[in-house]
Amino acid sequence: MTNPLLDFSGLPHFDAVTPDHITPAVEQLIAEATEAMTRAEAVAPVAWDNLVVPLEAATERLGRAWGVVNHLQSVVNTPALRQAYNENLPKLTAFWTRYGQNQALHAQYQALVRSPEYAGFDPVRRRVVELVLRDFRLSGVALADADKLRFSAIRQELSTLSATFAEHVLDATDAYALYIDDEAELAGVPADVIAACRAAAEREGRSSYRLGLQMPCYQPVQVHAENRELRRTLYLASIVRASDLGPAEHDNGPLIERILALRTELAKLLGFATYAECSLATKMADSPEQVLAFLQDLAVHALPYAQAERRELEAFARDALGLDALEPWDISWASEKLKQESYAFSQQEVKRYFTEPKVLAGLFEVVQTLYGLRFVPDEAPTWHPDVRFYRLVDADGHMLGQCYMDLYAREGKRAGAWMDVCRNRKRDGRGLQTPVVYLVCNFGRGVDGKPATFDHREVVTLFHETGHALHQLLTEVDELRVAGIAGVEWDAVELPSQFMENFCWEREHVLGMTAHVETGEPLPSALFDRMLAARNFQAGMFTVRQLEFALFDMRLHSAFDPANDSVLALHRRVREEVAVNPAPDSDRFPCQFSHIFSGGYAAGYYSYKWAEVLSADAYEAFAEAPQRTGEIGARFRREVLSRGGSRPAIENFHAFRGRDPEVSALLKSSGMTA
């Protein structure tokens, strides 16, 4: 039987891939890529067609096959799949390290720069060569042989540790269950969440309600449950996941210490003083000091608002809710009560209007309005019955790319929301290969035959991930290395995603994507007005929470001394500096901080706020334009979305906006201006 992971003629065969296919596919593709690398070392005279093209063809096949495995590991994690993944991850890491440290290959690229052909390269191909040479340097190509071996060992161990970190968080989350027998204890919890908890218990043969720590259950309980002890129980269980305060087999504490030590050693091998400096070599920001100054400047603006919001919440909790002390498990609940009191607005009330079919139709309508493009239902093998598949077409019906959409939470699926690349765009002798993406969320599914409903924050999340997908799908670059999000600086990659969030607040779009789950009526305009008035409710507290994560991350990777400090102590100090909502001593947030320990954001979490400056400023151009769509949408697509990594992100922004980004737009959109 043909191995489905080795078939690149079309879309992945998700309905046929099994864990047994992984090892033979990986070994064959690594062997083929190694052969291509050996041939490339010897070609002369060196040229684009005999060096870059065959190397990219071989490594792309390896990357696409492993991308399928990596995706399955995230969305349908099983013991057999996990075992095969972990057995093959070191092989991939070893290959890419050998590739990056190949001096003969590096010399061939240097020879390409010196060749007569290079003078005729267009800017895109020059950018490809520039980034390849940078990556050789960051892979340790110039190291002595002994240091190369050590560098390779570090990369191997880090890849394993990162995968294990994510597994611990997933397993600790999935392992927790709280069973409630009396529905009265769930007073205030939305009916659809109660129904889902009842269904979860029934699947286990119980007649009670099964509560867990996955977001579709945990978040509504924190926001709506009147039972304070229930909120407390789930909160305290959540903050100790994957730590020393839980089962030893899930404890990420030792992994964090080892990851940090290895990152520091790796950075110093490459000649950087800290891992933060190493990380920033591929980003827009110039130095850790620049990032810290940026974050601290935002803190100066945001902290007074956050402190005032905390005082207001404490007073409300005391005077209106009868809480002498506002505990951490009260904050979301009390905030929701205050929002209802202040704006006559409730996320739960609004959620009844954001039904999944209307939200998706509204999302697709925004894409058509902005860019003249349509998402059309399509067919493809999938990994789960929940998954939908679409193609994106232009006004003439020509396909630009395709998108898998997996919206619901389930056991064995990594938490959070993300977009990832299934395959990238390229043009070669066989024609044009169009991009394909995964768009993954973790929303609650519909119950009792009703469609799923989303609160507005989930709608924003869906738009955010669609922004990432459009960045990939709308690329017009034909070189793999810089098409779509490839080659885009990490602190700029959130620009298109955060930009899309703004359209969740525009009246014409919001009202058009709503239909009450019971009556089918659209969201009343008066309710939208109250929702809009509450848009920046507690924006200060949200901002300092993000600054807490970003400052902790950057200081951890730039100024942390493990001999005289601890990770938890550093986190507490950062919280004392910018946080306004205290956390218990049992808080073990670093043990769950997957973004920086297993998700690629190490010394890069600041990217969310950095890119938010870019996105807020970009959206102002739309707000200022007399014609909201048409030319302005075409220019954003042309100068930002279609360019991918083919030129530096700041040049994309300059081409669109005509100037440097300004932080004032972010402060204005967040309501943090005088």
Question: Known catalytic residues?
Answer: 465
Supply 621's token pair. Answer: 């151009």
Which of 21, 22, 53, 24 is closest to 40 using CA atoms? 53
Order of strands, sheet of 436-443, starting from the edge strand that comes earlier in the sequence: 374-377, 388-393, 399-408, 436-443, 418-423
Q: Beta 399-408 vs 436-443: how paired, if at all?
A: parallel
Supply 508's token pair. Answer: 């014409």
Which of 27, 35, 57 is closest to 426 using CA atoms? 57
C-alpha to C-alpha distance for 389 and 406, rounded to whole angstroms: 9
Judge contact between 59 and 99, C-beta under 8 A: yes
C-alpha to C-alpha distance for 219 and 212, rounded to whole angstroms: 10
Diameter over CA atoms, the chain: 81
Token pair 């998954």 is found at 387
Token pair 């989303």 is found at 454
C-alpha to C-alpha distance for 81 and 68, rounded to whole angstroms: 12
Judge contact between 283 and 489, C-beta under 8 A: yes
Judge contact between 489 and 286, C-beta under 8 A: no
Supply 579's token pair. Answer: 């946080």
Instruction: Report in angstroms the alpha-carbon separations of 285 from 278, 350, 605.
Output: 12, 39, 12
